[in-house]
Chain A
Amino acid sequence: MRHAAGGLRRRCLLGAALIGALVGFGAPTHAADHEHGGDSDWLVFPSLIGRTHWDDNGPPPSPYNDWIKADLLYTHTSGSFRVLAESEISNQEAEIERLQFGWELNETTLLWLGRFHQPTSAWNTDHHHGQYLQTSITRPSIERWEDEGGILPQHVAGALLDSRGALTGNSGLVISVGAGAGPVVTSDGLDPVRVIHANHGGHRAAFSARVGFLPDLLGEDAFGLMYAHYDMPVVEASARAELNADTVTQQVIGAYANVFRSNWRLRSVLYHVDEGNESAAGTRRHRFDAGYAQLEYSAPASLTPYGRLESSSALAGTDFVLLQRDGVDVRRALLGLRWDFHRHQALTLEVAHAATAVTSYHEARLQWSGVLP
């Protein structure tokens, strides 16, 4: 969520201090004679993004206004115990995005407690906040984080069970089940449980699950199904008035397919959402579908041209979408070119045409991204 500049510095320091404390907790007591890795590891994903846009009609939407940001990740393992902390600091926000404490129940299953990314987002569970690891600059509209105008919950605080095991031959099965406290609805949109900020309170149960089939347990091809249910109270009077509801419920079912053949990569997802706005007068239901397909090609000279199509049906008609002041893209088509250079650095150019519920616009973005160390 966006915050007043006054508190941003304090929150940045708090977030950095928490990551620093965790790094200190896991730091070796003797000088290491090797590079990164071992029991502890840390990564920094910095990025710089420039954006320009021109509009077909009306004022432009304004998601993705971060022009400089860094994602900090720290992990530590000790026997069967594992800790993971991920913090994003940008010109607009500072937050602990994930803070998870895990216990390996057996060779294939891990139980996490803490704040995690809910597993029904195929995109976010692959890339999280690591901007460098996603080929495109932008993420699909339906996969946006809550503070970017996202309309599906992405952060949940509770328990997450992750399992990845062999099925038959070389194939494998991944199962992720998460349960905990989901977001509440404010006039700014969805507001998940926070780690270093005050919470509104009143968070209710969220449940999400994903089952994926891997033709090769160690490969990247994956096909799967998702299901989620969220029960979200509307905690601000202005939002209750706009939505004419005390509670918003969402039931999400989805399917995804990631196919990698030679130099080609295809990522595709389809969601069906059944949304209910509940009030004393009754429940208004609205159903919509949203999906996307992104195709990438690994060309010579470390170049990767890519394109993505996003579409939806009946998405524009939901009160909940209209509540998002940053605007939600109901359609979007984009082309991009990424150039990987030096070690772990990339320059990406992306042009898009998108339509929200009330306007349409063109935009172009240029990004430098990388990962350290």
Chain B
Amino acid sequence: MERRAAVSRARLVLLVLLLLAGASRAAAEESLVLVVSADSPVTHLEIIDVRKLFLGLRVAAGGQPLRPLDNRSDERMHEAFLQNVLGMSGDAFERRLLSMTLREGVPRPAVYRNSAELLDAVAADRSAVSVAWLKDVQRDRRIRVLRVLWRD
């Protein structure tokens, strides 16, 4: 009898551990997505266009130049964007932006260190393009997800 109870307890503990592990993995699985305003005319952007846009080249949609907004509210997200989308280090990115500003008069993308402020700015500007964690925007009706850029 006691042995059966011990086995049941062990199964229960195992079940709880499995559930915790699953929840933990779900939480760790984050997706970096490209976002625009729900009113944006942009329906699709290739990765090469994302790179061009954030490195200072002109990218337009419907004749309207797009405006990149630099989301630095989460250091891990910024690193993921640099490494997996732009393919360069933070120093190289900074230097590239400085160079484009000096050479071609391209203002650097506005930098946001607060996620809520960034999403407000994207929602309010039909030409804005930025990146965010999927979990931060999937319930925000003001924001439209264009594509997944990277999955953890």
Whole-angstrom distance between the alpha carbons of A291 and B108 in the complex? 33
Is B94 in contact with chain A by the CB < 8 A criterion? yes
Contacts of A32 in B (CB 8 A): 110
Chain A contacts for B105, CB-based, 8 A: 75, 77, 82-84, 100, 102
User: Is B55 interfacial (CB-CB < 8 Å)?
Assistant: yes
The answer to whether B107 and A34 have CB atoms under 8 Å apart is no
Which residues of B have CB within 8 Å of A162?
A: 104
Cβ-defined contact, A37 with B95, below 8 A:
no
B residues within 8 A CB of A125?
Answer: 103
- Kindly identify, within residues 20 to 38 of chain A, every residue whose CB is under 8 Å from any CB belonging to chain B: 32-38
Within 8 A of A (CB), among B80-100: 91, 94-95, 98-99
Contact A34 B51 (CB under 8 A): no
Q: Is the CB of A73 within 8 A of B107?
A: no
A75-109 interface (Cβ within 8 A of B): 75-77, 79-80, 82-84, 86, 100, 102, 104, 107-108
**A113: chain B residues within 8 A (beta carbon):** none
Q: Does B59 contact A (CB under 8 A)?
A: yes
Using A218-B51, A218-B52 as known contacts, say yes or no to A41 and B107 having CB atoms under 8 A apart: yes
Kindly state whether residue A234 has any CB partner on chain B within 8 Å: no
B103 near A128: Cβ-Cβ < 8 Å: yes
Q: Note all chain A residues with C-beta closer than 8 A to B104.
A: 110, 162
- Cβ of A40 within 8 Å of any chain B Cβ, yes or no, is yes
* Shortest distance between the CB of A239 and any CB in chain B (Å): 33
Q: Which residue of B lies closest to A108 (CB)?
A: B58
CB contacts under 8 Å to B, within A323-351, are 340, 344
Q: Is A236 an interface residue (CB 8 A)?
A: no
CB distance from A129 to the nearest CB of B (A): 8
Q: Which residues of A contact B95 (CB under 8 A)?
A: 133
CB of B9 within 8 Å of the partner chain: no
Count contacts between A and B, CB distance < 8 Å.
88
CB-CB < 8 A to A212: which residues of B? none
Tell me if A206 is interfacial: C-beta within 8 Å of chain B: no
| CB pair B102 A37 closer than 8 Å | no
Instruction: State whether A35 and B110 are in contact (beta carbons under 8 Å apart), knowing that A125-B103, A133-B99, A344-B94 are contacts in the complex.
Output: yes
- Residue A43 lies at the interface, judged by CB distance under 8 Å to chain B: yes
User: Which residues of B (92-150) have their CB < 8 Å from a CB of A?
Assistant: 94-95, 98-99, 101-114, 117, 121
- Asked if B13 is an interface residue, CB under 8 A from chain A, the answer is no
A104/B58 in contact, CB under 8 A: yes
B7 to chain A, nearest CB (A): 57
Q: How far is the CA of A128 from the CA of B44 in the complex (A)?
A: 36
A126 to B98, CA, bound (A): 11
The verdict on A56 contacting chain B, using a C-beta distance below 8 Å, is no
Return B134 CB to nearest CB of chain A, in Å: 22
Whether B101 pairs with A75 at a CB distance below 8 angstroms is yes
B57 to chain A, nearest CB (A): 7
Tell which of B58, B59, B121 touches A34, judged by Cβ atoms closer than 8 Å: B121
What separation, in Å, do the CA atoms of A84 and B91 have in the docked complex? Answer: 24
Compute how far the CA of A344 lies from the CA of B121 in the bound complex, rounded to whole angstroms. 28
Contact B65 A80 (CB under 8 A): yes
- Going nearest first, the 8 A-B pairs with the smallest beta carbon separation are A84-B105, A41-B107, A37-B108, A38-B110, A35-B111, A75-B105, A37-B110, A34-B110
Residues of A within 8 A of B (CB): 32-41, 43, 73, 75-77, 79-80, 82-84, 86, 100, 102, 104, 107-108, 110, 125-128, 130, 133, 162, 164, 170, 217-218, 340, 344, 371
Q: What are 21 contact pairs spanning A and B, CB under 8 A? A: A33-B112, A34-B121, A35-B113, A37-B110, A38-B110, A41-B101, A41-B108, A43-B101, A73-B102, A75-B105, A77-B105, A77-B106, A80-B65, A82-B105, A83-B105, A110-B104, A126-B99, A128-B102, A170-B48, A218-B57, A340-B91
Residues of chain B having any CB pair with chain A under 8 Å: 48, 51-52, 55, 57-60, 65, 67, 69-70, 91, 94-95, 98-99, 101-114, 117, 121
